[in-house]
Amino acid sequence: MGGVAAASPGGQRQAAGPARPGPYRAAHRRACRRRLRHGGRLSQPQAARGLPFRHEPGLAALAAWCDFLVVATPGGPETRHLVDAAVLQALGPGGFLVNIARGSVVDTQVLIEALEQGRIAGAGLDVVEGEPDDIPARLTRLENVILTPHIAGRSPEAVQATIRLVIDNLQAHFSGRPVLTPVSG
């Protein structure tokens, strides 16, 4: 399982990243004055070492504990539909899902049904399965959903790094050196 973050306005907060919780999350916890929990690749003993929040071994347990479940994990076969009906059921009618990972991590059809039927309170989605061409119309019509256009990689720093990489690749290619990021196929 990849990293999962969650938080609840009732005083409980939960956070984790794609690999290991770090100083940013600890600082966020202090800023929010909330309790944090996480689930992810770290084992319980690793998670306990010097971290100010508890590790939850299962995603459903994590979802049951929090009010806001923030998913931040790599995509791929291992995490496909990681957020499924059981996780959304555990999140419950007062819970919110926030997906900043990959669209494939959430079972979109199950999410739509949960949102329509009030089994969860709402969702904030920076990514959706099938984007950008195939976003379900049912999802776009829901009042309890906020959709953003996958903008996390569009910071000035990310754009600058992309431009630099293109220039470096072009210079390598035209000077007869191997490119930095070759594409096969």
Strand ranges (DSSP E) for the chain?
4-7, 13-14, 37-39, 54-55, 68-71, 96-99, 122-125, 145-147
Contact 47, 38 (CB under 8 A): yes
Alpha-carbon separation of residue 99 from 30, 33, 49, 69, 82 (angstroms): 23, 23, 27, 8, 11
Q: How many residues does the chain have?
A: 185
User: What number of other Cβ atoms are within 10 A of residue 22's Cβ?
Assistant: 10
Contact 115, 95 (CB under 8 A): no
Active site amino acids: 102, 131, 150
